[in-house]
Amino acid sequence: MSRFSAPIAESIWDMKYRLKAADGTPEDRTVEDSWRRIARALSVVEKEPEVWEDKFYSALEDFKFLPAGRITAGAGTERAVTLFNCFVMGTIPDNMSGIFDGLREAALTMQQGGGIGYDFSTIRPKGAEVKGVAADASGPLSFMDVWDAMCRTIMSAGSRRGAMMATMRCDHPDIEQFISAKSDAARLRMFNLSVLVTDAFMEAVKADGSWELVFDGKVYHTLQARDLWNKIMQATYDFAEPGVIFIDRINTANNLAYCETIAATNPCGEQPLPPYGACLLGSINLARLVKDPFEADAHLDEAELTELVATSIRMMDNVVDASRFPLETQAREAEAKRRIGLGVTGLADALLMVGLEYGTDEAAAQCEAWLKAIARASYLASTELAKEKGAFPLFDADAYLASGTMQGMDDDVRAAVKKHGIRNALLTSIAPTGTISLYAGNVSSGIEPVFAYSYTRKVLQKDGSRTEEEVVDYAVKLWREKFGDKELPSYFVNAQTLAPGAHVKMQAAAQKWVDSSISKTINCPEDISFEAFKDVYMQAWDSGCKGCTTYRPNDVTGSVLSVSENTESAPGEKPAQIEGAMPSEGGDVVYMADPLGRPEELDGATYKLKWPDSNHAIYVTVNDILLNGRRRPFEVFINSKNMEHYAWTVALTRMISAVFRRGGDVSFVVEELKAVFDPRGGAWMGGKYVPSILAAIGGILEQHLIRTGFLEGEGLGLKSDPQAQVVNLGNNRGPACPACGQYDMRMVEGCMTCASCGHSKCG
């Protein structure tokens, strides 16, 4: 009998976490094999590996403990990948050689699958004097453009693109340019941006005081703090970026404030880290620990929780020794502090199962109590590990206990740390869990509310037929199993109906017992006023949050899937259907479990591309397939007599053809190619500036897709499709997923995440 509670869960496991040979043959026959692989890999460092392998397996069984995706996919595979999720790179020196050394380190880290963060505040502002070369500095944003281009060329392990976070201090002279950078839709697309906001700045904002922009002791500009705050707010209101990180609050609370200073976070913001800092992640599935759900005595089994946390902490500590690291400096940093980030998922489902409404005072109090129990269990488990294996090398009892986080810990925890030390310097974090939550049976993600109670996922089979799979929230599924078509209680709320203040309340409640930070998106309605929007950030500051990320759907950010309340009122009704794709698909999203077979004959066209300064033309052939009476691209051939082009044209031929054969809204290929620029310069073609040969090929593909009716017109590669329809979902729909084509992309925990296939922009 399958352990998976939903078809999508098994699909996620098969696509992302199941170990397969190079030819695609599964080596993990069942999910139990995957659990056993992970348990065995993380027990080999133990003195009694057989004993701990079974205990680790028990923790993984039935999706109770969910190691982060890199651990689940990579542990025990012998592949050259890192099991760590988060890295902050070294401090960027303010000189050319140091900057490009940092670029190289970033490329090596992303190549092994790590998401990275950088503080660009250390680079002198645009226009500042560069001594010895009689020139002015180009400023940090110019180098961010270089990083952005590098990231585009790196496919990280597991076929994920690298994700990056860029931070800049609120007193840097180029901060206004940093704030407005995302107003250019083509710029810094591989970066998340966040402003490092200090306590002094927030005090100046509240007092309507002046604010100096300073670098290396020189004041470049003075402005009103409230004006700068409003610019941050306006940019995130319009473009969903930059985020806000309360950096002084982070450093004050940090257990390691005595030996490190933090100036950056990983891409999703839940891990503030020092230079070369690394952290691995895992989550306790709270929804699996609720006993007697929906009954009067429903409760979370805290004894089971404590035992599960202790086992999970030990497993994660072992990952520090089992993982590879892209850089030796990262390995030394991880070994010196043994930082881990244990968090939760399924919180909203667990609250529903005990009869509490997400966002209420009662739910916030319960969230705080559960997170405190996890924090206590984590710290006590780590002190026990210290007794057995030793404290982390940089442990200093007096300095550690004097930190902001430890001062709030219970006396028995502080006493245990003082007596025995502690194995892991930091232990808790709330990470993005979009994909692993689907893998665990579509439990609610992280500490986010339930997004939608159910939706229909369409899957295209090899024979061209379509099947529909209902994807139901875990708590709703349990309700149906218990009560059939009985109407959902009034405390069943979702992200569509919650006020932003309810999100802030839950984040603040969780933050009290999380020693790192929290990845959370505060969903705001499109029609929220600017003043009310600004108040969300002030509430986050006033309530003790370490940062704030919002998402307001609009014409620029895209309309994330919204679900009308009346379609979710009764679980017995047909779930909301998500439909819509390219005009050529007749209004249905196509997601293919396997690629289509190639017919004997295909219709197509060949295009000649003559790039300036090149001795040989490039020929691009696009062949199409008829699917359900509609024409769509099936394969591409790119040829040139210029042998310097041979390797990349063959690679491009294979990659694009593989994408086309998977189906779905493949028009994102056009956008990706057209956005590639050549640092040596592009060319004018047909009265337009084309930034690279690859961009020119993208233009050819676009014109072909227009000619065959696959696209409506130039520039509409990923734009709204006038013929697509969304049924029973109000007036809005999400943008198409670049991986599977379904219109089910959602902003969750700071990441654009697809609920149908688990694809995440943040990796």
Angle between the 646-661 and 693-707 helix axes, to the nearest 10 degrees? 30
Region for residue 504 given its phi and psi (left: phi exceeds 0; alpha: psi -120 to 50; beta: otherwise): alpha
Count the helices and strands in the chain (H runs, E runs): 24, 31
Measured CA to CA, the distance from residue 453 to residue 571 in angstroms comes to 8
Measured CA to CA, the distance from residue 431 to residue 342 in angstroms comes to 8
Tokens encoding 431 = 């990470």
Measured CA to CA, the distance from residue 132 to residue 673 in angstroms comes to 39
Measured CA to CA, the distance from residue 319 to residue 303 in angstroms comes to 25
- Which amino acid is located at 297 in the chain? D
Tokens encoding 81 = 């990948």
Tokens encoding 545 = 């949050």
Closest CA relative to residue 263, chosen from 170, 327, 145, 401? 170
Phi then psi for residue 290, to 5 deg, are -80, 125
Measured CA to CA, the distance from residue 162 to residue 191 in angstroms comes to 9
Neighbours of 687 (CB within 10 A): 5
Contact 82, 324 (CB under 8 A): yes
Closest CA relative to residue 479, chosen from 307, 382, 355, 584? 355
Q: What is the dihedral of CA 455, 352, 445, 313, to 10 degrees?
A: -150
Contact 333, 277 (CB under 8 A): yes
Contact 84, 68 (CB under 8 A): no
SS3 169: strand
Catalytic residues, by residue number, are 266, 268, 270
- Would the CA dihedral through 438, 444, 448, 454 be positive or negative? positive
Contact 538, 202 (CB under 8 A): no
How much of the chain is helix, strand and coil, in % rounded to 5?
Answer: 40, 20, 40
Give the H/E segment covering residue 145: helix 140-153
Closest CA relative to residue 463, chosen from 632, 603, 593? 593
Query: Is the bond preceding 293 in cis, omega lying within 30 degrees of 0?
Result: no
Q: What is the dihedral of CA 147, 152, 155, 157, to 10 degrees?
A: 40
Measured CA to CA, the distance from residue 43 to residue 730 in angstroms comes to 50
Give the H/E segment covering residue 304: helix 302-322
Q: End-to-end alpha-carbon separation of the chain, Å?
A: 31
Name every residue whose Cβ is closer than 8 Å to that of residue 668 and which is 6 or more positions away in sequence: 717, 718, 736, 738
- Would the CA dihedral through 676, 681, 682, 687 be positive or negative? positive
Paired residues of 195 in beta bridges: 168, 244
Tokens encoding 38 = 């992970």
Alpha carbon distances (Å) from 98 to 90, 95, 330, 604, 631: 10, 5, 17, 50, 51
Q: How many residues would you count in the chain?
A: 763
